[in-house]
Amino acid sequence: MEMLVNLHIERLPEGLYLATSDEVQGLVAQGRTLQETLEIARDVAKKLLESQEKRQQELKLQEVGESFDYPLVIGG
């Protein structure tokens, strides 16, 4: 089952990107590029959610439906 996780992305003064989430406790990912940061965040979120499932904690995430909005970032 695919779930939607909202990320907060910010560009740090050093030029790195930082991703966090209010929905997945403990999710923190940092990368040199936006793509690298998103890939790391996906891996971290997956592991955290698997851990929560094993502890039988309730997941409060929205399932991916027939349609959803996705912000597309295009470099200039």
Residue 34 sits in a domain whose CATH number is 3.30.160
Q: Contact 71/10 with Cβ under 8 angstroms? A: no
Point out the residues of the chain with pLDDT beneath 50. Answer: none
Q: What is the pTM of this model?
A: 0.81
Count the neighbouring beta carbons within 10 Å of the beta carbon of residue 32.
11
Question: What range does the domain containing 29 cover?
Answer: 3-57
Residue 72 lies in a domain: no
Residue 7 lies in a domain: yes
Question: What is the average pLDDT value for the chain, to the nearest integer?
Answer: 87
Residue 66 lies in a domain: no
Return the structure tokens found at 74: 């295009």
How many domains does the chain fold into?
Answer: 1
